[in-house]
Structure 1
């Protein structure tokens, strides 16, 4: 039997202690974009947790494969979990206001429940995407559960998935909320209330304290811990008028801070403003656009940037030069360019 086609990585999107998310393609299908949750570089002390999360993701992806709006599981091997690429923009950037999006999102949740799967991590807007045609998509099944019985636990978890979708709707399209949805937002399930009062505090203590890891995108908690002082130190220079800090996956291991600095200093002069140990990359720009644009550039999420600029074309002139001069070239290194 011939070996399966090799996965060719092109861009590292994010990295934490338990996995690395890399997009790319199979060597015999360069035009089909895929995503690998890379597990072969996990440190030994994190392998038990990484293995537990991987098993949950594999079980759930096997069941949701084929549901429009969810990833298709391609294969599992020693390198990790390979799935289809979801062509969409995270909700925190897309900010959907159309009723059709939320109807489609509910359809995904119904289809998942029919297959006995609950997602359990839909409070994060990054796990919801709006596709190019306005349809809903769901990603990141690391915390998902597969239920053999449709008992009380299954019903509670399904209810919480729906409640978190309604919370996203309240954030981005509050005028679309129905009376029943407003009642749902006011009524957390008992297990959720217990978790918020007890378990979540312990979870935050471990992930943010022991691992120095933030819940948002798996990129570390350094900006929250050190960002204010870094910004103050950069702004102390008289020729710096604004600063934006973004997280990004380092080419080797871990995550770093990427600083966009509004200044007329040269790239060499800007690099000398702060030690590389504190800020891995620093890019001088003429004018800072919105932070969402800069975060996408820092993390090499250029497909999503194109979608965002299609919605906000007024940002394109500011952004073109920043993209051309970007300093996170992980995608070029991985592609061998």
Structure 2
């Protein structure tokens, strides 16, 4: 196996670290490396459970268009090809063709005995550059050797979650039959929502510090002015920009970017303490903030960094070497490695 060269860390949680890069001598081919051994020792056993599920599913769907293609497995994790595309909550497809292709993809998974089991998350659906559907993140996927009741229930829920995405991003395409199916949860799903989901939220948002990324309270509007004023009072801070990101528990966090004054080392801004009631959840000193030609701060770029949306960041700054350099220098020191989303921060239909 050639040496893997890491370009960026896309995601980091208690079960693995996901890195994007390439093999030595083949920089043009993007590769994803999931490293289970990067997880803490106490959560690593569960990390391997999830990784083995993903490995089994990816081997089963090898050759299926719209799925990640596995390359190899080693003692640290797995390698797979990069899946090119825009996450659904950003691509927001409105054309019926995408949903037809997504249905085609679900049928292809069924033929291989695979249920994905995590398609309620729009970030696990992609819209490819060709306008087709793709899915990623098979850590919760199941491989069914028999098409029994459990398989049929899970397959039904995968399809119902596709209808959920259609309702969210292309409601004009949702037929009356689709609306009825969407409202008809399977019995295990209803039991899960009433019981298991509460335990899941307690464990993931509390113990494991995950989040579904939703939030409604506009903290920047209410707390932002006080945070900006306090940071600008620091003698080494020249400018400040604020963005949002999902907190581990339900809600929205404030991510502050503090630009150092010219000639001021970033180390001088480390550990800034704010004697205020309002404080950012993340505070990152930066040498330069990204700006438009008129000098306005590019909040769209900073929002992607705060949300750990590295793929979208690459697309946004492509073709502008200076802006790309500034953005990627900030991203290299970012403080949020979760892939959770804030629906409120996404573009509207």
TM-score by length of 2: 0.76
Per-residue CA distance 1:262-305 (angstroms, 9 max, x = gap)? x99769599479449953524546545565x4343446755433
Instruction: Supply the distance in 2 between the matched residues of 1:76 and 1:213 (Cα, whole angstroms).
Output: 26
2:228 alignment counterpart = 235
Q: Is the contact made by 1:13 and 1:299 (CA closer than 8 Å) also made in structure 2?
A: no
2:282 aligned with 1:279, yes or no?
Answer: yes
Q: Cα gap change, 1:120/1:72 in structure 2, threshold over 3 Å: closer, same or farther?
A: same
Q: Cα gap change, 1:303/1:206 in structure 2, threshold over 3 Å: closer, same or farther?
A: closer
Higher relative contact order (CA 8 A, sep 6+): 1
2:336 aligned with 1:328, yes or no?
Answer: no
Q: Cα gap change, 1:234/1:5 in structure 2, threshold over 3 Å: closer, same or farther?
A: same
Instruction: Supply the distance in 1 between the matched residues of 2:116 and 2:262 (Cα, whole angstroms).
Output: 47
Per-residue CA distance 1:226-281 (angstroms, 9 max, x = gap)? x7797465234496786213479xxxxxxx985346x9976959947944995352
2:97 alignment counterpart = 100
2:123 aligned with 1:113, yes or no?
Answer: no
Instruction: Supply the distance in 1 between the matched residues of 2:264 and 2:105 (Cα, whole angstroms).
Output: 49
1:253 alignment counterpart = none
Q: State the 1:142 CA deviation.
A: 0.4
The within-5 A match list for 1:199-210 is 199-210=196-207
**Aligned counterpart in structure 2 of residue 305 of structure 1, from 310, 313, 317:** 313
Unaligned ranges ≥5, structure 1: 249-255, 311-315, 332-337
Q: State the 1:192 CA deviation.
A: 0.6
Q: Is the contact made by 2:240 and 2:256 (CA closer than 8 Å) also made in structure 1?
A: no
2:45 aligned with 1:48, yes or no?
Answer: yes
Q: Cα gap change, 1:198/1:9 in structure 2, threshold over 3 Å: closer, same or farther?
A: same
CA RMSD, aligned part only? 3.6
**Aligned counterpart in structure 1 of residue 84 of structure 2, from 83, 87, 90:** 87
Q: Is the contact made by 1:91 and 1:128 (CA closer than 8 Å) also made in structure 2?
A: yes
1:335 alignment counterpart = none
Per-residue CA distance 1:146-185 (angstroms, 9 max, x = gap)? 0111011101111111111111111111001112111111
2:304 alignment counterpart = 296
Q: Is the contact made by 1:60 and 1:144 (CA closer than 8 Å) also made in structure 2?
A: yes
Q: Cα gap change, 1:106/1:323 in structure 2, threshold over 3 Å: closer, same or farther?
A: farther
Unaligned ranges ≥5, structure 2: 233-238, 248-252, 275-279, 335-349
Instruction: Supply the distance in 2 between the matched residues of 1:26 and 1:92 (Cα, whole angstroms).
Output: 30
Instruction: Supply the distance in 1 between the matched residues of 2:177 and 2:316 (Cα, whole angstroms).
Output: 32
Aligned length: 307
Instruction: Supply the distance in 2 between the matched residues of 1:272 and 1:38 (Cα, whole angstroms).
Output: 29
Per-residue CA distance 1:187-240 (angstroms, 9 max, x = gap)? 111111110110010011011111222245xxxx9x999x77974652344967
Q: State the 1:99 CA deviation.
A: 0.8
Instruction: Supply the distance in 1 between the matched residues of 2:167 and 2:159 (Cα, whole angstroms).
Output: 12
1:198 alignment counterpart = 195
